[in-house]
Each structure stands twice: as structure tokens, then as C-alpha cells.
Structure 1
């Protein structure tokens, strides 16, 4: 109900009636009306009390009105409420939610008396902006002055641990909080606290510790289940997540929207059609099949399973297609190796009222790169510039990739040079462009500029591009140097991509024994692709003996792949061992394996 001035014609009313009106409007979400009531109350020369001002501060917070908040703070000071713990705590909360942490802390420090809620509020303020060292310092101070933390204290702190704080120091802090929680006996009966503990461990990828907390809980909430399932999905343990879901069903726990999102996300990663169709049936049974976020994930799920027909059926059934729906389907075609279909769908999209965003254009540019058509490339490039997307970093990154894949490294560098605030992704894209063009020196020069002049910290992805550049250019000393420095200088653990680049580099220049030593030093689960690189190098350098060893290892680790037999047959052919080569080819037929055909594109009459 809109409050009119006539309602306040009789200003001479007691404070408790004004407070009731302020409470009702605030509880009903009419925060602007709350401030109007207070204004009329001021005109009647009635001053607020302990009950009035916390509600007013809450209204200011919801309206994000800093001017009104500071004005009310002045009123509180004039009226002498500095010693009122309730009002001062509300002030701390208001300033913290405005992200004015200095003011929140100043009010807190000047409070003559504090409650546990006061401490929790300022701790929560620091946690909200991820200043975890200050939050922990306050927790220690709270314990020293004799206040016993509540479950809410620890929930506030644990909420501050995000994936951006993925370091040993912060993990140690989280573990110390867990110890304190156990010592105070909270975790036995506080489900929300246990959920926060699990969430903290999930952020750090420590699923064994998260699972211990989960298993310790006698009564689990739906948040408990979704937190642990989401954690397993995050670290790639999809089978364990689906086992938990089966356990949920056996215990007749209601399935909510988040559970379904987790299940579909797992199917997107696994790419198993039978499992995907089962989850889709469950979605329909739960009546969530028409939710926009669910439909877009279903499109991605089926596309990742290689079933573009089902993905397209879902897309076509969506009545009011959002930009995310179009982008999901275009991405499905692009990532499944159907760039022409992706571009046709994009052309259809631009004829509708739905406008593409930066993510859509980035995917379309990736499709152009895969297609390699200069005419199509020019059409999409014109659309990018005509519609003001040339400054979008996603689009800029994809433009660099597209130009390099279409053979125009000069145009790729022009786009790179135009970017004002280059992030790591932009640098990586340009370094990778030099790598695939065999321009190792240029890639190294750009990497050195990135790490020295720009002082950007490299990640595992940019090192993959750098090692690829060294490999394609035969820069063995540089490759070995960077492979070592990524571990010693930046603490990056080598992945299969790094090992494969290194083995490929050593193999190309004929250091086959060193390449073999590198593979044998690798974890067993990472060796398959590296043995393939070594076998290819053996064919180049006609080393049959080492090639046979590599082939045996490949067949042990990947017995169903025809590529190993083909590489070995080519090696035998190169040294004149035609009988052995025929034996390899016959094995492909005997094992009913299919050799993938090579293909190329030729542009004829447009």
C-alpha cells in the first residue's frame, strides 16, 4: 500500500505506533516507504529508539542508499546511541554490506560494549570481501577477550573461502577452524556449519576431508547432498557423484533443482548417452524440463554425447529462445566438428530479435577458424565491428585464434596489439598462434615480455603453448629450460600436454633416448599420448627397435586404438620391412578396428 501524507495528518502520535508502521513497511519490503515514514516522524519531533534505527539501517542496505545510511548514522550520534549495542551492530552490518569495511570497523572499534552478534557481524564483513587474514585475527581477538564463538561465527568465516584463495595458507586456516569447531562441539548438531565446512574443503578440492564431514552428519539437509555432489563433479569424480545420487534415491530424499543441475553437468563431462537420457527422463519426471538453465545444459549434454539430433530437438522445442539457448546449440555444433551448421544457425539467430553476446561471437569465430573459409571469416568480422564487439576480450581472443588458423598471423598480431588491457588469455592466444605457425622465437619473445615487462604470472595453459612453440621450431635448450622453470619458478605440475610437447621436441631433434627417459619418469596414467609421440619420432628417424618398444607400450595402455598399428606399419615400411608392415595392417582388420580416414577441404566456386 502506498503511504500518502494524509495518513500522517495527525503527527502527534506515540513512538510505538511509528515503530509499528516502520516495522510493517520494512517487513513487506517497502523500504522507500520506511524512510518516508521516518521523515514524517522527524517532522513531528519524535525521535527513534533502539527498535527504530536497526529497521532504518536495514532499509538503507536494501536500497543501497549510502547517503541515507550516513545521514541516519549522524542522527544516531546526535541522539547519544553510541553505547547501544543493538544499534551499533546494525550500523556495522549496514556499512559491511555497502562494502565500506573501514567504516564498519571504526564503528565496531568504538563500541563500548559488544555482543557475540557484533563480533560475528564484523568478521562476516571481512569474510564477505575475502580478507581472511583479518577475519582470522578478529576471531583470535574474540577468543582472547572471553567471547565464545557461535556456529554463525564459523559459518561467516568459512563462507569467505573461495576458489580464488586456493593456497596452502588458507587451507591451513580452514583446517584450524575445523579443529576449533570440533573442540567446541558444534559440528555434531549444527548442519549449516557442517555444510560450510564441506563447502570450504570442496573449494580447495579436498574431497576426502569433505566426505568425512558429510559421513559424520546424522541428519543431512539437501544442501549437504548438493554440496558434496557438486564437489565430486568439480574434481571430475563423476561416478562417485552418481553413487551419492543413487543413495539419495534409496533414502527417498527429495530431488531439487541444484541436484538436477549437478547431474546434467556430470553428463556433459562424461559424454555417455545412456546416462544422459536417463537423467533427461528424471528431469521431465520432476517437471523441470522447461527451465531455461536446464534446457541449455541438456543441449550441451547431448551435444557432448555426440547426439546432435537430440540436442537440436530440445533447442527447436524452446519457444522463447534466449541468447544462452542459441549459444548452447551453436557451441554444440562447433565443438562436435560441424562448423557449417554452427554458422548457419548463427545466421538464423541474427535474423531474430535475440542479439548475440560476446560468448556467442567467440564460439562463432571458433567455427570460422575450423572451417577456414575466408569469405565467411570476413562476414563475421564485419558483424563484430559493426555491432561494437571489437573491444570484447572474449571476441578479441577468438579473433586472434581465427586469424592464425586461417593463416594470417599478421592480422592476429594486429588484433593483439589493439587490445589495451591484455589479460593472460589474450597473451596465451597470441603465443599459441606463433606456436602453430612454427615461430618459436617470436613466441618466446612475447612470453618473456609478458612475464617481465607486464609481470603477469603464467599458468599451465600458456606453458603448453610455449613448449609447443619450442617443439615446432626445434628449440631444444629453450624447451628444456621452460619445462624446468614452470615447476621451479611457478610451482606448476606438468600435465600430459606438457610431457607430450617435451617428448615431441626431443623426438623431432633425434634425442630418442632422452625422450624415452622422460616418458618413463612420467606417471603411468599420463604415458599413452607420450608413447604415441615417441613412436612418430621413431618413424621419422627410422629407429625400429625403440619404435617396437613404444608400440608394445601403446598397445598395453590403449589396445583399442588403430593409430598405434598404423604408425608401426608406417615405420616398418620406411625401413623396407614390408612383411612386418602388412602384418600390422592385417591386425587392424583382424581386430575389426577402423582406421580413421584423413580428409581435407577444397573451396570451389565459393
Structure 2
């Protein structure tokens, strides 16, 4: 073999570093092969061995990295640290913890670069015992005085749940730098303690330490979590004074903060003034509009982001999918599903969960189940979305089946939302036994104490089953003050079973909590009307007028050819209103011939019977279904959304129309889905 050029090894080391910076395994292996070829049969110099170990570790190839280390006759602390650091960064904490004892047995000793990496590994398992031992070793070896070592120990204690140890360690730090302050704030946020994060920021300022972008973002995230609008706004002024407003991360945090505090105008102003935007910026503003009932604006912003050249990310697509869920935009959702497939992000757990949720909320439960079954990984959001989709359809059997599969799998534990979804499904199908058994054993089986939502579901379960008095007893024994949802469930049960006196009690409690909610007044009026107590029904309506409460107008909408057609009762302005009325008149004749009888119980007392029937015949959902029959080709389901609960007469009429026309009609009201087909509804009239 000829002599090696003196600059050869250094040049090859440079090639290895380039492979690391460009994440190119091909280049790295080529450099390794060239090194072996040039030096054989001589052993690798230590500095080249260190470079190779670092490269393989950073590129998440711990096997080759360990092999190179084993071939080094005198491995240095740099070699061990490179392998430990790579293992910790690439989520192989157990490997990092196994390598550390090998380092201790060698002639080398850990340094201030080794310990932060191994402490990070202990934090990510999380393993408090290993972390405590590493802390003790750091103290004995005199390395705990290093700010990076102590900051890593601090982070480890937070992530392993030993907050008291973290506080003691932090208080004992001789010099607290910005890294340690940021660790305290971010870990407080992760633990769900926004007030602690805010207090840490204030202490940071009192200590004289200058905050950086991480500090500002942590503070804004804490204010967003706790909805401290005034405090976050004050920090915005502070950020402007410090000159951090052009910072991309801080700008994104401000958009997120204002959005979560329901101040969309401020969020939009910050967004529009940002000199630089990334996909996080667009996601933040999309979510800000979507969370504040501006779903159409949110969707248009997504279109604008695409025009600006931003490639769809999993967070962006999952954010926009939530707007489709709220808008019941099934076609829009399917388009986004196609975008996710083309962008190769449909396998993301965030996108998959959002797709399950979107299809479930848009009434396409079969598509939701298909996405759910195809997902490689699932989290609690995924399982909850699937169960919730079945609950909205009133399919308790499938909801319970998915819940049973979730609990038997053991990979994802149910949370309080899961139990709300299951109980809600049981309530909507009359599964009193299963629902109440879950309510009574949830703390024992899953360690979850009943929350307000669970009590509301329990009241709904009992009320729908005709056990209103027992539901009322549960309310009276609640440890917390009953909310609108609890009293509302009881009031609805009284509507179903025409219990006027108990309904009056529930309504009066609701009037105390929210005196201006028209829905509760209307519900009480209808309860009196169904019981034939017309004077009291009219009195409730009169009281509404006297205090200026107006009933929310019922409206229904249906999508056709990229346009949303909205109808209100007795609509006279739609371009096809003539055809719609003619279709309804024809349907009415055929329905009556098939045995349909108008349900006029809730129509106004002053009207004659014929006028009552005419009023019912012009409800918004009937106008919408007539439009669907005119425009939507046969074989395609007619999908209608309504802002209020569907009335009894419209529910009965939809069953007849589905049979007469041979069409599937999917109606989503403000409570659930109704799927009408062959004179039947999926709810089996239990709603």
C-alpha cells in the first residue's frame, strides 16, 4: 500500500461531518469504506473512530456505532459520549443507560457533555431511580456545578414526576441561567400548571435574567392555557419594547394566545404583520378562526396558504379537517383526505384521528371505521373519535364494542372523554343498564372520578328511560353545583315524557344560570303544550317577549355543487322556491295516502288545525329535503344539517319521504344524526 497523504484522514473526517450535517448515510458509509481501504491493516486513529461513532449515532444506527466503539482498543470519553448522545436523541434511552456503565468501567471518566445526555435518557423513560443515581454521581464527581448538567438534572426531575426534587434543586442552583428558567416554565406547562409557569417568569424578571424567545413563548402558552387575556396582552407590549416582535416563534405564540382567548381580530392583526411566516403560523391562524366559529374563514386561509406555496403538513391538514367537521363538509373533508394521501401524511396519527373525527361528525361512519382500521397507531383521541362517531349515530352496540376493544388492548387507557362518549351512546339508544354500570364503577375500574359531563349523561340515561325522579335524586346528591348540561338533560327528559311539574323545576334552575337562553323557554312552553296546559305555555312565550328574548330561528342547510343552500321556515326567497313548494305539495298527498298524520301538538294554540298543518309543512328541513330531491341525483344520499333539534312531525315526515322516494336521508340536528331509509330511522324513534 502506498503512503497516505497527510491530509487524507482530515479530509475523510470532513466528509463524515458533511454526512452528519446532510443526514446522508450513503456519503457516510462511502467515507467509512475509504478510511478502511486507506488504513488497512492499521487500526483507526481515535479521532476518526470518534467521528464514525458520532455519525452512526446521529443517523440512528446504534448497531454500527457500537461495533466501531468495540473495535477501538482505547475508546475515549468522546467515543462513549457520542454513542450515548445519539441514543438519547434518537429515542433509545435504554441503550444510552446501558452504555453509561461501560464508560464507568473503562479508563475514561464522564464529563459535562456525557451527563446531560444520560440524564435526558433517564427523563425520557421516565426512570426516577436512574435519574436520582445520576444526580448523586454528578454531585460526587463535582460536575453538578456545570450549568448544563444541573439543567439536565432539573429537567429529569420534572419529567419523572419528582417536582419537589426539581424545586429543591432549582432553589440550590448557585447561578440560574436562562436555560434552567425555561426548563422550569416549559415543564410546568407540560404538567398542566400554567400559573406555576407564569410565576417562574416573574421570578426570572425579578432575578435580573433577560428572557429569550423560549421564555416569551412559554409565558404566552401559559396565558393561553389559563385564558389570562390581560396578562398576555401586557406581555405583548413587553415583547414590542424588547424588540422580539419580528421573531417567528414569538409571533406564532401570540397568534395562538389571542386565538385561544377568543380575540380573533388581534390574532389576525399579529399574523398579518408578521414579516416571516411558516406552516406553524398558518396552522395557528387557521385554528384561531376555527375555534371561534369562523370555519369558512379558516378553510379559506388554508387555500391561501396553499397558494403561497406551503406544503400541507400533518398539523395543517388535521387543523383544517376540524373545520369540515363543524361545517358538516363531507366533500371538503374527502378532498383533504385526498391531499393527505398525495402528501404521504395520511399515516400521521394526527391526520388519522382528525379524519376519523371528521367522517364521524359528517355522518359517514363507514369511512370513519375504514380510516380507523387502517391506522398503524392510535391514541386516546383516535379511540374517542371512533366511539363518539358511533354515539352520534345512536349505535351504542358498536360504541361499546370499540370501547371493549380499547380496554382489552391495554395500549391506550380510557380517559374521562372516552367515558362521556360511551355513556352518551348508551343514552341515545336506551342502554340504561350498561350506561349506569359504567357511571357507578368508573372510579373503581379506571380511577376516573365522575365529572359534570358524566353526571349529565347519567341524568340523560335515566330521564330518557322514564326515570326522571331518580335522575332528579342524583342531581340533588351531586357534590358540585349542577350545570346547564345537567339541568338541560332533565328538562329534555321531561319533554319526552310530558312531566310538566318536574320540567318547570329544571327550567327554573336553567333560567337562573342563563336567563336569556331562548331554547329552555321554548322547551318548557312545548312541555306545557304537549300536556294540554295551553295557558301556561302561552304565558312562558309572553314572558319571553316581555324581557326581549327571541327564539333562535330554525334553519337547515344542504350542500350541492360547491354551494351551501340555507333554508328557514316559510322561506320565500330561494331561487327554486316554486319547485320546492310544488314538490312538497306532491309529497304531502302521497304521504297522507301512505298513512302519515301531521303531529300538531306543538303548533300555536291560537291557530286552526289546518293552519297548524300548513305551518309544519313549511319547516326548514322539509324545504331542504325537497330541494335535495329536485337537485341531487337518485342513488346519492341527501345530507341535511339543522341548527336546532328536529321536531317530531319532521322526524315522522322524513321516514315517510325516505320510503316513498326510495332515498336515504341523513339529517344532522344539534344533538345527533338521523338516518332515514325505507320508512325507518336509525334512532328507532328513541331520541
Same fold judged by TM-score > 0.5?
yes
Greater shift after overlay, 508-517 or 363-372?
A: 508-517
Task: Assess, with a 3 A threshold, how the Cα gap between structure 1 residues 480 and 105 changes in structure 2: closer, same or farther.
Answer: farther
Corresponding residue for residue 129 of structure 2: 172
Correspondences of 1:315-394 after superposition (within 5 Å): 315-318=271-274, 322-346=278-302, 353-354=309-310, 356-372=312-328, 377-379=330-332, 381-382=334-335, 385=338, 388=342, 392=346, 394=350
Measured after TM superposition, the shift of residue 192 of structure 1 is 0.9
Using the TM superposition, give the Cα deviation of residue 228 of structure 1 relative to its aligned residue in structure 2, in angstroms.
0.7
Equivalent in the alignment of 1:159:
120
Cα drift, residue 259 of structure 1: 1.1
Alpha-carbon distance between aligned partners in 2 of 1:364 and 1:59, rounded to the nearest angstrom: 38
Q: How many residues align?
A: 542
Residue 67 of structure 1: which of 17, 25, 29 is its match? Answer: 29
Give the 3 Å change call, closer, same or farther, for CA 148–271 of structure 1 in structure 2. same
Instruction: State the match for 2:211 in structure 1.
Output: 255
Q: 1:202 aligns with which of 158, 166, 187?
A: 158
2:378 is aligned with 1:436: no
Q: Distance in 2 between matches of 1:12 and 1:413?
A: 67
- Is the alpha carbon distance of 1:216 and 1:597 closer, same or farther for their aligned partners in structure 2, counting shifts above 3 Å? farther
Aligned partner of 2:653 in structure 1 is none
1:423 aligned residue: 378
1:124 aligned residue (67, 72, 85): 85
Aligned counterparts of 2:41 and 2:453: Cα–Cα separation in 1 = 67
Query: Does the CA contact (< 8 Å) of 1:471 and 1:508 recur in 2?
Result: yes
Counterpart CA distance in 2 for 1:297 and 1:444 is: 40
Structure 2 match to 1:48 = none
**In 2, Cα distance between equivalents of 1:386 and 1:131:** 33
* 1:533 aligned onto 2:486: yes
Q: Measure, in 2, the Cα distance between the counterparts of 1:351 and 1:141.
A: 54
- CA shift, 1:283, in A, is 1.9
Aligned pairs (5 A) from 1:565-576: none
Deviations along 1:48-71, whole A, 9 cap, x unmatched? xxxxx6x66545544533323431
Q: Which runs of 5+ in 2 are unaligned?
A: 557-565, 568-573, 576-687
Q: Could you tell me which residue of structure 2 aligns to residue 601 of structure 1?
A: 555
Q: Work out the CA distance in 1 between the residues paired with 2:69 and 2:151.
A: 29
Shift of 1:440: 0.7
What is the rounded CA distance, in whole Å, between the counterparts of 1:149 and 1:226 in structure 2? 26
- Secondary structure (helix, strand or coil) at the match of 2:121 reads coil
Report what 2:149 is aligned to: 193
Which structure exhibits the higher relative contact order, with contacts defined as CA atoms closer than 8 Å and separated by 6 or more residues? 2
Identify the match of residue 311 of structure 1 among 267, 278, 299.
Answer: 267
Distance 2:117 2:456 in 1: 44
In 1: Cα distance, 2:307 partner to 2:114 partner: 54
Q: What are the superposed Cα offsets for residues 90-123 of structure 1, whole Å, 9 maximum, x if unpaired?
A: 4433332232212222333444434444443443
Pairwise CA distance, 1:444 = 1.6
1:235 aligns with 2:196: no
**TM-score when scaled to structure 1?**
0.71
* CA distance in structure 1 between the aligned counterparts of 2:95 and 2:308, rounded to whole angstroms: 51
Q: Give the aligned CA root-mean-square deviation in angstroms.
A: 5.0
Q: Distance in 1 between matches of 2:56 and 2:473?
A: 62
1:401 alignment partner in structure 2: 357
Stretch moving more, 96-105 or 461-470: 461-470
Cα distance change, pair 132–421 in 1 and its aligned pair in 2 (3 A): closer
**Partner Cα distance (1:13, 1:106) in 2:** 25
CA distance in 1, matches of 2:450, 2:115: 36
Residue-by-residue CA offset, 1:178-234 (whole Å, 9 max, x unaligned): 2333444433x2211110012122334543332222111111111011111112222
Shift of residue 156, structure 1, vs aligned partner? 1.6
Alpha-carbon distance between aligned partners in 1 of 2:49 and 2:344, rounded to the nearest angstrom: 49
The answer to whether 1:273 aligns with 2:226 is no
Q: 1:283-312 deviations in whole A, cap 9, x for unaligned?
A: 222222223333232222222222222222
1:334-383 CA distance string (max 9 Å, x none) = 101222433444455556555654544433332233234xxx54356446
Distance 1:531 1:357, change over 3 A: closer
> Does the aligned pair in 2 maintain the 1:535–1:568 contact within 8 Å?
no
